[in-house]
């Protein structure tokens, strides 16, 4: 067996909801502006005592339950996140321990919103190379913890959540192709400046707001549309697929207008594009697996369907994976 398939999927979103109307009360913004510019209506927000590992564990349990898999049957745990519990240890170690899988390898991947796409490529490769038989890949974020609630240009965009997939060895191969890329020439385009080894958090940097996410929205918008189209085109070509072969486009949920622009170019009719941005906002590495989980629950995806997963984000980074659902 040198194929791989996704055998179980689950997700979790915190209970508390922040609506556009809530945001109207604290910021100079409006439901109309947010809806027309982004497509967002609500976001789920983690409780003060809820960390990214807690979201991961809930999503992982959902996937394990759906797949009737025991935590000890997973050979390796990977968490894609840019909002880990701590700079170290890796959030995945905490997740595995809480799932009673102490001793299993566990590590984090940090490539912002592209995390799930990179993770899918890596986990599939580990399985296809015969290193592991079952890998749990979780995309999870608590972005509300790094958003400046007083900055209307970012506070409206981000939400919290987690999506988990179990990948396992299979006779037939679902992973058809991947195209990944990164351009780190201007990290400040989308970044959390403070708290790393470049700029430590001091009273001064805290005063300057370096503990909060910053983003050059317009720049990212253009980059996102271009790279989603490019990466999808390359991934389809590598898999010897035409645009018309694609049953489902599951894009990173950063802005409905970005998704629409990319989908239009890729000639994907609206009904074949999975969009849940209205409910969750941008949950970065979690957005694609949450969208996949919801699409499966809704009975949309059938065996044999061709899916394109495509994302972009901090780095800057991007990626697309073509997948045949088993």
Q: Which residues bind to ligand ACO, rule: CB under 6 A?
A: 29, 33-34, 37-38, 112-113, 152-153, 156, 190, 215, 217-218, 220-221, 224, 254-255, 282, 284, 313-314
Orientation of helix 52-67 relative to helix 91-98, angle to 10°: 50
CA angle 98, 99, 101 (to 5 degrees): 105
Rounded to 5 degrees, what are φ and ψ at 203?
-55, -40
The answer to whether residue 282 is catalytic is yes
The answer to whether residue 11 is catalytic is no
The answer to whether residue 237 is catalytic is no
Q: Is the CB of 38 or the CB of 178 nearer to ligand ACO?
A: 38
Taking the complex as a whole, the smallest distance from the CB of residue 117 to ligand ACO amounts, in Å, to 12
**How many CB atoms lie under 10 A from the CB of residue 184?**
10
Q: Is the CB of 137 or the CB of 146 nearer to ligand ACO?
A: 146
Long-range contacts of 152-156 (CB under 8 A, 24+ apart): 152/23, 152/27, 152/28, 152/29, 153/215, 153/217, 154/212, 154/213, 154/214, 154/215, 155/23, 155/27, 156/20, 156/23, 156/27, 156/29, 156/34, 156/38, 156/40, 156/281
Q: Is the CB of 20 or the CB of 178 nearer to ligand ACO?
A: 20
Taking the complex as a whole, the smallest distance from the CB of residue 310 to ligand ACO amounts, in Å, to 13
Instruction: Say which of 113, 173, 191, 255 is annotated catalytic.
Output: 113
**How many CB atoms lie under 10 A from the CB of residue 222?**
11
Active-site residue list: 113, 252, 282
């Amino acid at each position: 067996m040198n194929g791989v398939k996704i055998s179980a999927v689950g997700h979790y979103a915190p209970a508390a909801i922040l609506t556009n109307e809530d945001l109207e009360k604290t910021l100079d913004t409006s439901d109309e502006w947010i809806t027309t510019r982004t497509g967002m209506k609500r976001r789920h927000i983690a409780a003060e005592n809820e960390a990214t590992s807690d979201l991961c564990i809930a999503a992982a349990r959902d996937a394990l339950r759906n797949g009737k898999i025991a935590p000890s049957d997973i050979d390796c745990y990977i968490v894609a996140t840019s909002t880990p519990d701590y700079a170290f240890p890796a959030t995945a170690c905490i997740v595995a321990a809480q799932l009673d899988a102490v001793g299993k390898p566990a590590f984090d991947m940090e490539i912002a919103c592209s995390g799930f796409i990179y993770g899918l490529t890596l986990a599939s490769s580990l399985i296809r190379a015969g290193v592991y038989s079952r890998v749990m890949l979780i995309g999870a974020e608590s972005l509300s913890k790094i958003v400046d609630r007083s900055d209307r240009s970012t506070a409206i965009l981000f939400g919290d959540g987690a999506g988990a997939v179990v990948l396992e060895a299979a006779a037939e191969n679902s992973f058809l192709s991947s195209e990944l890329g990164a351009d780190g020439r201007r990290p400040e385009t989308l970044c959390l400046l403070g708290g790393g080894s470049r700029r430590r958090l001091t009273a001064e940097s805290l005063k300057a707001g370096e503990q909060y996410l910053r983003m050059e929205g317009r720049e990212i918008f253009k980059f996102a549309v271009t790279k989603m189209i490019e990466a999808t085109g390359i991934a389809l070509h590598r898999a010897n697929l035409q645009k018309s072969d694609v049953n489902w486009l599951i894009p990173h949920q950063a802005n409905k207008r970005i998704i629409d622009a990319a989908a239009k170019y890729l000639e994907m009719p609206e009904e074949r594009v999975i969009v849940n941005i209205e409910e969750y906002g941008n949950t970065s590495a979690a957005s694609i697996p949450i969208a996949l989980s919801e699409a499966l629950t809704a009975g949309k995806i059938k065996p044999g369907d061709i899916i394109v997963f495509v994302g972009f984000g901090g780095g800057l980074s991007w990626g697309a994976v073509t997948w045949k659902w088993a």
